[in-house]
A and B are shown apart, each in its own frame.
Chain A
Amino acid sequence: AQRVTQPEKLLSVFKGAPVELKCNYSYSGSPELFWYVQYSRQRLQLLLRHISRESIKGFTADLNKGETSFHLKKPFAQEEDSAMYYCALLNQAGTALIFGKGTTLSVSS
């Protein structure tokens, strides 16, 4: 079965603290994984994709096939990082995304 699990509904941190948003997946073969973000009053948008190995807004995510994880990390959280974060998996057919339930990140000063 193809599935994405985000175990935390809410993650609250202080500004400057490290952040790790957890994502685990279930997939047969080599997965393609993504992080999407939704800031307050904005539309859902792509943050980063594992295949690009990029760092966006200081966030990185590494695919760990052994642990079937794709955790999103940032060393120093900023208040503007407060948003809803969704981990997503490209389905086996390569035609649509399967989303996790999302984690709300709240960064306070």
Chain B
Amino acid sequence: EAGVVQSPRYKIIEKKQPVAFWCNPISGHNTLYWYLQNLGQGPELLIRYENEEAVDDSQLPKDRFSAERLKGVDSTLKIQPAELGDSAVYLCASSLTGTRNTGELFFGEGSRLTVL
């Protein structure tokens, strides 16, 4: 089992350019999360999917960020246009769906974005 797979691992772009991150969750995990981790901070939730439905996107800056999870498996997080302050690690995580989350999230290795 490969675990949660994210790509790219590293991305360097100039400001105002677009960027996209891809995530493949653990097979059978219906819940998928995108977290943002700024330097020296803990992960902060951006968006949560239950299957293909975005059920919590209240923290996603919708003016420049978008996400999708077609077919309820892989997910893509996009930033357009990127700003200097978007430099961070973007973490994808997945978990089994239940009536109550067990609290065990399985994280990917993260995608580190540097905006110049």
Using a CB–CB cutoff of 8 Å, the interface residues on chain A facing chain B are: 4, 6, 9, 32, 34, 43-46, 49, 86, 88, 90, 94-102
Asked if B105 and A46 make an inter-chain contact with CB atoms under 8 angstroms apart, the answer reads yes
CA distance A90 to B33 in the complex (A): 14
> B42 near A100 (CB under 8 angstroms)?
yes
Chain B interface residue count, CB cutoff 8 Å, equals: 24
The answer to whether A49 and B107 touch (CB under 8 A), given A96-B33, A96-B45, A96-B56, is no
The smallest C-beta distance from A98 to any residue of chain B, in angstroms, reads 8
Q: How far is the CB of A109 from chain B (nearest CB, A)?
A: 27
Question: From residue 66 to 116 of chain B, which have CB atoms closer than 8 A to chain A?
Answer: 91, 100-110
Given contacts A49-B104, A96-B56, 13 further A-B contacts (CB under 8 A): A32-B103, A43-B4, A43-B109, A43-B110, A44-B43, A46-B104, A86-B43, A88-B42, A96-B48, A97-B43, A97-B105, A99-B43, A100-B42
